[in-house]
Amino acid sequence: MKKLLSIVMLVCIVASMCSVSAWAVGMHGKPYDVNGVGFDTWADAKSYADTLLGDITVSFRGEVTFAEGGTHGVDQIFPTPGKVSFVGLDNTAVFKTTGSGIRCIYQPGGLSFSNLTHVDASTPYSYDRGFRYTEFVGNVSFTGVYFGANSGVRVEAQDGIFGNLQFNSCVFEGTSDEYGLWVAQGSATVNGCTFSGNRAIKACDEYAKGSPVNLSVQNSSFSLNNKAAVEADIYSNNHQINLGPGNSYNCNIINLENSAKNVTLQPNVLAITPESVQVVINNTIQLGINPAGLLSNDKPIPVLWVSSDSNVATVDANGLVTACAPGQTTITAYMDNTSLGSSCTVVVTEAGAAPPVINPNNPAPAAPVVEDIYYIPATDDNSNMALWSILALALLSTAFVTRKRKNEN
C-alpha cells in the first residue's frame, strides 16, 4: 500500500512540475521569455531582444504587438540578423500587428510562429476595399496558428526579397469578405490546414504583373459559404498552382479569373470515363468528364475535346466519339485556357475482329488552338532499370574483390 501511495505521489509531483514549467518558462514565472530571460511586460521583453544579435526565441502568454508603418519597404521585428521565433504557451498567446501602411515584416534569418493566434489590428488598405493583411517577405513559417476574422496574411516582395511562407496545421476562419491567405509575389506552401468562412486563398499578381506566384496546397480542407477554395487572378505565365493530394472541398475548387494556365490537381478530378475503350467501326460511344467545382470568372470552364487521329475516330464538342477506321487514337479533354485535362485511349476494330493490343505509347493529341495553353509533359519511370544496374555493378565489384584476395593468398 505504501509503495502504491509513493507511486501516486510521484506521478502527482511530475504532473505538477510539468504544469509549472508550462506556466513559468525558465522557472522565472514571467509571462514573457526571451532566450531564457523572463519579463513581466512585452515592452521590457522587446527592449531586451532589441539588444541581441543572434537567434531569438520569444515564448509567451498574453499579447505581443508589432507596429507596422509607412509606405512600402520592410520592417524588422528585432534588429538581429538571426532567426526570430514566437512560441505561444497557452491559448491566450496573441501576435497582433498594429499601425498603418503597407510595409512588410522581414527577418533576415527567417521568422516562425507557433501555437498562437494572429490578429491584424492595422488600418485597412483603402484600395483593397477595407481589407486588412499582414504582409511578409523572406522565409516565414506558421505552425498551429489560428487566423480569425480580419487577420489575413499576404505573401509579398519588397526591396528584391520575395515571400516564402509555409503553413502547417493552421486554422483559417475568416468571417469577413477577406482572404485568409493572399499570394501576391512569392510562394506559399499549405499543409494540413482548415479553411472556413467566406473566402480562403487568392493567388494574384495584379499589383506586380509578371512576379512569381507559386501556391501548393495539400492535406487541407475547405468549407466555404459561396466562394472557391482558390481564386486565381493571374496576368502572366510566371506561376504554378498545385492543389493536392489529400485536399477535401465542400465548395468549388478553383475559380480562374483572367487566366491561370499552370494549374495541376492531384488526383485529377477531370479523369475521363472510361479511361480506355474498344469501339467497332461506325459505332459511337459517349465519354464522360466531371468539371464540377472548376470555374472561370464564376462560370463553368468550357471543355475542349480533341482526337490525336481523326482518321481513326472523331470526337464532338460534347465528348461523343465516332469510330471511323481500324486503329488507335487518344481522345483528350482540355479545360479551356488551362493545363487541366485528361485522356482516353480508343481502339477501333472491324466487327468480329479480335481485340488488338493497346499501345500505351500512342501520342497524345495536338493541343487545341488556344493561345498559351500550358501542358505538363509526362515522364517515363526508369527507376527499376537504374536499380538493377546498381545491383549488377555491386555484384561484379564483390566478385572482383573476392577473386583478388584469393590470388593474394
Q: Which of 100-114, 145-159, 310-324 has the highest mean pLDDT?
A: 310-324
CA 246 from centroid of its chain's CA atoms: 11
Is the model's pLDDT at 281 over the cut of 90?
yes
Where b means 16+ CB within 10 Å and e means fewer, 136-149 reads bbbbbbbbebbbbb
**Cα dihedral value 385, 387, 391, 397, nearest 10:** 90
Cis before residue 291, ω within 30 degrees of 0?
no
Confidence of residue 243 (pLDDT cuts 50, 70, 90): very high
Query: Confidence class of residue 289 from pLDDT cuts 50, 70 and 90?
Result: confident
More confident call, 195 vs 341: 195
Compute the chain's Rg from CA coordinates. Answer: 29
Task: Give the Å distances, CA to CA, from 248 to 109, 130, 148, 224, 263.
Answer: 34, 30, 21, 12, 17
pLDDT confidence of residue 363: 58
Give CA 354 to chain center in angstroms: 48
Can you give 234-275 as a three-state secondary structure string? ECCCCEEEEECCCCEECCCCEEEEECCCCEEECCCCCCCECC
Q: What angle do CA 87, 91, 97 make, to 5 degrees?
A: 60
Domains of the chain: 30-265 (2.160.20), 276-349 (2.60.40.1080)
Q: Is the pLDDT of residue 71 over 70?
A: yes
**C-alpha pair distances (Å), 273 with each of 184, 243, 269, 342:** 37, 22, 11, 10
What residues contact 128, with CB distance under 8 A and at least 6 apart? none
Is 0.85 topped by the overall pTM? no
Q: Label residue 96 by pLDDT band (50, 70, 90).
A: very high
Q: Mean of the per-residue pLDDT values for the chain?
A: 80
Q: What is the pLDDT of residue 60?
A: 98
